[in-house]
Every structure is written in C-alpha cells, then in structure tokens.
Structure 1
Amino acid sequence: MDALTPLINGLNLHAKLVYSGGVCGRWLMDHNSETSVWFHLVSKGRGFVHSPRWPAPLALNTGDLILFLPHAARHFLSYSPEHLPDSDQDTRLTPWLDGEAAFVCGEIELAAPKSTLWQALPAEVVIRQNQAGNILPRLIELVIGETSAQRFGSESVIERLCDGLFVLVIRHCIEEGLVRDGVFAAMQDKRLSTALGLIHQQPWHGWTLNELCTRAGISKSVLSEKFSALIGHSPIEYLTLWRLQIAAHWLIEPAMSVERVAERSGYESVPAFSKAFKRHFGVSPGTLRKS
C-alpha cells in the first residue's frame, strides 16, 4: 500500500457539504477557518476570489476548484472583480438552475491544523478544469452532474465524491512538486514512501529503526538523514507524531474521553499523554477537545 492511503484513512478525514446550489445578486461568501480545509467547486458560471495572496481578484470559472487550508490568508468570494460587498445580506441562494453562478462548498475538519503535516501543503490550491490531468476532471464532472440533477441522496453522494476530490488534490500537489518538504514531499522518494507506508498503516506496531530499514531496503544512516532533511524528525520521532495525529482526531469525537484516547494511544497515564501531546501541538488534549 502507498503511504498516502493509510494516512488519509488513519485520520478518518471526511468532507462535509456546506452548500450546493446557485447564487444570485451581489453575492459574497466568507468561508474562513483556522481549523478546517474549505473547498469551492464552481459548478456553473464564475466567481472571484479576493485575497492578499493575489495582486488582483482571481477569476474562477465553471469546473475550477479552489481549496483554502487553515493557514491561508483571509479571503472572500464574490460576484465581481471590482466590488466586494461588506456583508452577505444581498446574497440570494437559489436552486442550481436558477443561479447566475453555482457552487459546491464544503469543509474538512482538521484536529491539528498547525501541525507540520498540513503546514507543508500550499495555503491555497487552485486547480483549473484544464490543468488537472485525466482523473480529477472526471470526478469534478461527476460532482457537477450530481449537483445539477438533485436526485435522491444527492448530498450524500456529493460528500463521498468530495472525499475523493481531497485525496486527488493532495496527490496533485505531490506530483506537481507543490510541496518541497514535509511528509507529502517525502512520499516522492520510493524508499521513504515504503517506510512511511509501514508507519501509517501500522502505527501501533513497535517499530525499531532496524526493522523499518530492513523492510524499506535502506540503510539506517540514509533513512535517518532523509527523514531529518525532508520531515525534520527521525523515523521514530515521526512515528510518535503520527500516533499523536491520530489521537488528535480521536479527541474530536464526542464519544472519546481524554482518558480513553490516552489508553488507546499506548500511554500508561493521562499526564504522560498530555505532556507529549502539548509538546508537539502546543495545546493540551483537553483544550483541543473543548475548542
């Protein structure tokens, strides 16, 4: 198995559909978040992104996809490149057919958005309809088709398709060289990808450096050097970080207490777990859970 699939599965990341339909009038969208990835797919017409990231408002046309990670600059989507409304009070939401423009908008919640895992990705990812290779445009077409049809279960289908969109966007970033360090960049190295795949797929295994090197077919010095250069941690340090990433996502599940997460994470006590968690993420497990 590749290194990306068990990473996505391990964190149980899922898209939540926030809006699917048309917009009219002097519309404005304010979808900024410090904890979620926001995505906007133009399913009809066009819109404009107002952000300090670009010197002029960025035009988005039918079939274009844009994602904003939590470290993106504050931004707005609007009907015009010249005018940015002060609020969304003039926004009129309509069925897809009646809209001057139409969007599929959603979010993917990240339990630890400030971790190096996500910070290594671009803050904004723009994928034009004609720049996405072969598979991603087909999936975008399916989302747009399901949006315009409005059949039974459409929202559920769109959410599952958007799960796939997020994975394909990460793959796009890796294959197009948009990430130059961090875990996603390391996946481009075949032997590092093998070691990462083992860690991601079996995080609770008692991995040693020797075993990882043997399974990945790489020397200890080379593996340690490459991990340090690209990820900023030794293989065993990254294993600990990956376990804590999983723990962070357990913490945002309503049925999971801090005590249970600490136990499932292999820590003998809550204080030991809390100390390790705060050292890596800067907040205690309880604080993250409350927020």
Structure 2
Amino acid sequence: MSLAEPIDRPSCVDPLEDVLALVDVRSERAATLTGHGDWTLRFPAPAGAKFNSVIVGSCTIETEGLEHPLTLRAGDSFLLTRPQEFVLSTSPRTSVQSASPFFRATGGTSAEVGPVEQPVTARLVGGSFTFGRRARELLLDALPPLIHLPAHADGAAMVPHLLSRIDHEAHKGRIGANVVTEHLAVVLLIDVVRYHLAHHPDGTSWLQGLGDPVVSAALHAIHADPARRWTVRLIADATHVSRSTLAARFKAAVGQGPLEYLTRWRLELGAHRLAATDQTIATIADAVGYGSEAAFALAFKRELGTPPGSYRKEARKHDNETPESE
C-alpha cells in the first residue's frame, strides 16, 4: 500500500503534507553498525535517501558537498538526500574499506568492523528510503545533499526508536507492516525538514517559502484549491497583501512567481493521477484546473518534457519493473 493513494479528495491545506502524499516514500530494513577501535568505511550511494543515527560513541562523515568531515556524536543523526557515496570513520589514519561485505556477511541487518577486542567507538542504526518517480524534483532537490540533525534538536531523541521500530516491523512481517514503516519514514523526514527550515532560512525553494508568513499563506491557498482560476490579485487578496508585495516575496523565497508555481503544482498533480489512476486525460485536465485536454497536454509537455499519454505509459512500465522489495 502506498501513502499516495489515487483517491479523489480536496488537496491537503498543508503544502508539505500535499507533497509527501505524492512522493510515495517507502522505507527499507534498518541496519546496525558497530565499530571497535579505529576504522573507516565507504558506503555506496543509496537509491533514494539514507538516514543514520549515532547511538553510542562518535565518528565523522565525509561526502560530496561537505568542505570538511562532519563530527557525529551520540544522539546525532543525518539524512543523505542524494545518491552519492559517503564515508564514516573514527580515525583518518585507517585505510578505507568497503562497507558492503561487512553487511552481506550478516544478511544486511548488522555489521561489526574493527578489532572486536577493543572498546566500541561508535554504534549507528540506519535505514534507507526509496521514493516515487517525481520525488527528486518535488522534495529532495529542495533539500541540501546532507542534513545534520544534532542531538539537541526537536525529534532527534526519537530517531533511534523510529528506526528500530521500522526494523522490527520489517522483520516480523505482521499485517499492516508496510503502512507502519511508510508512516514512520514520513515522521523522520518531517522532523528533519522542520529542523532544516528552522535553522537554515536561506536558499530558494517552495520549502523555504513556508518560512515566510506571506508566501506560506499563498502556498496554503494554492494547495487548498489548485483548480481555482487563480490570478496574482486573487492570491494576494487571500494573503492580505498587495500584488507587488506578494510577487516580490514569493519570487525571493521560492525562486519563481506564484502563477509559475501554480502551473507546476497543477502538472505534478496531473502527473500523479496519470501514473496512479485510469482517469481519462480530459478528466485529469479538468480536475487540476485546465479548461481543455489540449491546454493541459501542451503545458504538460512543455514543463515535463513528454506528452501525458507517453508519461502514463512510462510510469506504468516503471511500476511493473520495480521489484516489490523497493
């Protein structure tokens, strides 16, 4: 079961909830790494995103985008949002080893590295998350490659428990396990996004726009009724500011104008319906605010690079080829 059920309902008022419903986040089994003494491990690039939490000791992480190694202490967590390799280490003097063989030896759920007769220098629990086709453009590209969630952050103390629960559900295979793990993965993502937005207000994206009260109000209005015949004046009226104020603040925070954002969001909703339902293109066009199938198809091809019918075929083909384990 997917969190992005193809049901007809009013769009969520909260833009973040709306996007999370479309990215179709799914969690994979959690795994534990225990390191003794000095060690350095290189991890392969995750298919989607990678979450790790230090529960004992400390280590450093290096990955593309970090100028210097980042020290992770007990209680700290990190989210890797890009498909790129990363290195965990307790000493820069040790040679780099591949992490994969250590996990393969135990079936992928745990690994031990370093001289076992030496004290534990770091223990981490981590999990991987995969997403639907549009997740990178909708959410992941709006986030930095790596987000550090320090131990003192709201929600940080719950991360090891959530990852352990994901692991428990995956191993037990009880009814409803997939739904539980998907929801837990969403909780982890929301905690990280909240912390990131609260402490890094710079940048331009729809996520950054949620930190500006005027832009946030505009985003909420658009997401509450995306099919409405919006104009800049109507959106400005909904946010109780002038058109010029709305346009300037929206552009500064999001990186595009409110009507440009509206167009893109309508097409994302249309793309989701194409992939997840058997509705006709004309029905979808009307549902997302287009007056005709031709207008929707023209905008869809211009923005997403392919006609709606071709997009639907490729989405179905991708879903049929995707292993159930993903």
User: Normalized against structure 1, the TM-score is what?
Assistant: 0.75
Could you tell me which residue of structure 2 aligns to residue 276 of structure 1?
299
Task: Give the paired residue count.
Answer: 280
Could you tell me which residue of structure 2 aligns to residue 123 of structure 1?
145
* Shift in Å, 1:236: 1.9
Cα separation, 2, equivalents of 1:118 and 1:95? 26
Whether 1:30 aligns to 2:76 is: no
Q: Kindly report the root-mean-square deviation, in angstroms, between the aligned alpha carbons of the 2 structures.
A: 3.8
Whether 1:15 aligns to 2:29 is: no
Could you tell me which residue of structure 1 aligns to residue 158 of structure 2?
139
Within 5 Å, which residues of 2 pair with 1:104-253?
104-113=126-135, 115=137, 118-130=140-152, 132=153, 134=154, 136-144=155-163, 146=165, 156=178, 157-253=180-276
Q: After superposition, what is the alpha-carbon deviation per residue over 1:37-78, rounded to whole angstroms, capped at 9, x for unaligned?
A: 4333345666653423235554444433222224x6x22345
Cα separation, 1, equivalents of 2:70 and 2:106? 22
Cα separation, 2, equivalents of 1:231 and 1:240? 14
Cα separation, 2, equivalents of 1:75 and 1:165? 21
- Which 10-residue stretch deviates more, 234-243 or 156-165? 156-165
Contact 1:42 1:60 in 2 (8 A): yes
Cα separation, 2, equivalents of 1:192 and 1:216? 8
Cα separation, 1, equivalents of 2:57 and 2:201? 28
Q: After superposition, what is the alpha-carbon deviation per residue over 1:66-124, rounded to whole angstroms, capped at 9, x for unaligned?
A: 22224x6x223456654333572343336979867442312141533564864342121
Q: After superposition, what is the alpha-carbon deviation per residue over 1:191-227, rounded to whole angstroms, capped at 9, x for unaligned?
A: 2211111112221222232322222111112112222
Could you tell me which residue of structure 1 aligns to residue 321 of structure 2?
none
Q: Against the structure 1 CA distance between its residues 245 and 93, is the aligned structure 2 distance closer, same or farther, given a 3 Å change threshold?
A: farther
Could you tell me which residue of structure 1 aligns to residue 66 of structure 2?
54
Q: After superposition, what is the alpha-carbon deviation per residue over 1:10-37, rounded to whole angstroms, capped at 9, x for unaligned?
A: 551453221213346886532334xx34
User: Normalized against structure 2, the TM-score is what?
Assistant: 0.68
Cα separation, 2, equivalents of 1:114 and 1:107? 12
Q: Against the structure 1 CA distance between its residues 279 and 88, is the aligned structure 2 distance closer, same or farther, given a 3 Å change threshold?
A: same
Cα separation, 2, equivalents of 1:223 and 1:181? 15
Contact 2:30 2:163 in 1 (8 A): no
Whether 1:40 aligns to 2:43 is: no
Cα separation, 1, equivalents of 2:301 and 2:199? 34
Letter in 2 for 1:93: T
* Shift in Å, 1:252: 4.3
Contact 1:42 1:63 in 2 (8 A): yes
